[in-house]
Structure formats: C-alpha cells, structure tokens
Amino acid sequence: MAFRIVVVCTGNVCRSPMAARLLDAHLGDLATTTSAGTRALAGQPMTQQSAMIVLRWRAGPATHLARQLDERVLAGADLVLTATRDHRAAVLELDPSLVRRTYTLREAGRLAALSAPGLQATAPEERLVELRDGLASARARWAAPPSADDDVEDPYGRSDVTYARVAGVVCQAVGAVVDAVKPPAC
C-alpha cells in the first residue's frame, strides 16, 4: 500500500491542490497525495492562477475538484501537510491521533532539510517513512522560527503576484521534502 499524504488549506482551490500536484509529480508511485479544505468550496475547480502554476510546473493536469476535510479524508493518512497552523489545529481537532504526523507545509520543508543528512535508508520508499517518523523528533530538537513563518499566505482572490509568491513558498517546502526522500544523484 502506498504512503498516503493529505494536504489541507481553507478552500481547497489554491494552496493545497498546488502542493498535492507538485508532490504527486515528484514522488510518483511512492505516495498517493490528496487534498481537502477546512471550509472547502466543494466541487469547485482549482483557481485559474493555481491551475496555470501547476501547468507551468508540469505537475500533471490541473483538473481538481475541491472537497471538505473530514475524518474520512484523514483516515489512513501517513502524513498531513497544512497551509497554516490553524489548519493543523483543525486536522488535530478531527483526529488527535495525527499529532506526530501533521505539520504545516513550511515546517515539514524546514525539518526535512534539517533531517535529510541523518536519514539512513537508501531506498526512496524507506526514506519517506523514515522522514515521516523523524519529523516529530526533529520538531523537538530544532527551535522553530516565529510561528507566523510556518504559514503559507492565502492567495485566493488576490493578484497574480501574490499567487507567484505563494507558489514559490509551496515549491520550496515541497522541494525540501522531495529532496530528503529522493536526494540528488550528485
């Protein structure tokens, strides 16, 4: 059974589908990635700006329909990545057992970059599990920046410049997770 990642934001039309598509594109068969929103615009497609970013990233088709976060979405999740600390709190309210598997996207990226050199496994699927298991201890080991630094800004209804800035943050965080799992050959 594939490792299961759930990405959460508010409307599930901007940040979480961008991150989920990027994770899918880079992790491939190593993980199944889904997304949901705490106040989802259920049934709505990704915003045009998010869809264009996904296409520019060549991260798969920009087809997506928003869905509401609930216990069923979280069931069996190996890792939950959220856009903000408030989304993390919402996940933990629904399923407190996910406390050691739920991180903001930026926190996961920061901790993955710090943890990657210490990972022992060589196979990407084993590194993914080792990374997930090590994130909680990494959180306790390394001091976090001011908490607002862990939130990804919501671009919904804002300018293309804002979407580009958010895409850069998402790409950097996802990139750190992917690099920890699938380190460069050289």
Measured between alpha carbons, how far is 185 from 183 in angstroms, rounded to an integer?
Answer: 6
**Does residue 154 form part of some domain?**
yes
Task: Give mean pLDDT, residues 63-86.
Answer: 96
Task: Determine, yes or no, domain membership for 142.
Answer: yes
**pLDDT attached to residue 186:** 52
Domain total in the chain = 1
Q: Which domain holds residue 110?
A: 3-181
pTM equals 0.95
Question: 104 in helix, strand or coil?
Answer: strand
CA angle 38, 172, 178 (to 5 degrees): 90
Q: What is the mean pLDDT of the chain?
A: 93
Euclidean distance between CA atoms 143 and 158, whole angstroms: 32
Q: How far apart are CA 84 and CA 112, in angstroms?
A: 17
The reported pLDDT for the residue numbered 59 is: 84
Q: Is residue 186 part of a domain?
A: no
Residue 166 located in a structural domain? yes
Per-residue pLDDT tens digits for 30-70: 999 999 999 999 999 999 999 999 999 988 777 899 999 99
Instruction: Report which DSSP code applies to 138.
Output: H
- CATH number, domain at 80? 3.40.50.2300
Tell me what pLDDT residue 1 has.
60
Instruction: Give me the mean pLDDT over the 13-33 stretch.
Output: 96
pLDDT more than 90, % of the chain: 85
- Residue 147 is predicted with a pLDDT of 63
Q: Kindly state the helix (H) or strand (E) to which residue 135 belongs, with its residue range.
A: helix 124-141
Using an 8 Å Cβ cutoff, are 5 and 178 in contact? Answer: no
Residue 35: burial class (beta carbons within 10 Å; 0-12, 13-18, 19+): buried
Tell me, yes or no, whether 42 lies in a domain. yes
Residue 160 clears pLDDT 60, i.e. is over it: yes
> Confidence class of residue 168 from pLDDT cuts 50, 70 and 90?
very high
112: in domain: yes
Q: Give residue-wise pLDDT tens across range 103-148.
A: 999 999 999 999 999 999 999 999 999 999 999 888 888 766 666 6
CA-only gyration radius of the chain, Å: 15
- Tell me which amino acid residue 24 is: D
Mean pLDDT of 4-31: 96
Residue 2: pLDDT band with limits 50, 70, 90: confident
